[in-house]
Amino acid sequence: MSLLKFNPRTSSIILDAYLEGKIALHAKFVLDTGASFVVLPWWIATGLGLKINPKNLTSTTTASSVENVPLTTIPKITVLNKTARNVFCIIKDLPSDAGVDGLLGLSYLRNFNLYLNFKRGNLRIE
């Protein structure tokens, strides 16, 4: 069991992730149960050496539009000591003032049981 204590009064839950591809790196993600996929910025995707096929696109809805973005996979992603392999992700830069590198969406989360207790400020991944 892996547990994160968070402030239930904050506007988002921030998680550290360890990503592995051709290199390994740490990144900060917002927990986003409304996102179908993990969202990575271009600098992380290229740094990891992910295979990006410009013809393999998927549609994503943002607050203001629908965009076609590249769809690929992350070989290995670990959050709170829970590892998933070959996780689908989309490549899209977040706004520069987002304060995080990406979004931790359902393509990662569906590999585990996720428990949120907002009253206590606990996130548990099993």
Residue among 20, 30, 79, 29 nearest 50 (CA): 20
The CATH class, in words, for 2-125 is mainly beta
CB 24 within 8 A of CB 15: no
Res 2: pLDDT:
83
**Domain residue limits, the chain:** 2-125
DSSP assignment of 55-96 equals T-EEEEE-SS-EEEEEEEEEEEEEETTEEEEEEEEEE-PPPT
Res 66: pLDDT:
86
Predicted confidence (pLDDT) per residue in 49-61, tens digit: 999 998 888 888 7
Instruction: Count other C-beta atoms under 10 Å from residue 76's C-beta.
Output: 16
pLDDT(15) > 60: yes
Predicted confidence (pLDDT) per residue in 24-45, tens digit: 999 999 999 999 999 999 999 9
Residue among 64, 25, 58 nearest 39 (CA): 58
pLDDT(1) > 80: no
Q: Return the amino acid letter for 90.
A: I
Helix (H, G, I), strand (E, B) or coil at 46: helix
Res 58: pLDDT:
85
Predicted confidence (pLDDT) per residue in 62-105, tens digit: 777 888 899 999 999 999 999 999 999 999 999 888 899 999 99
pLDDT(7) > 80: yes
What residues does 27 pair with on adjacent strands? 17
Rounded CA-CA distance 36/81 in Å is: 22
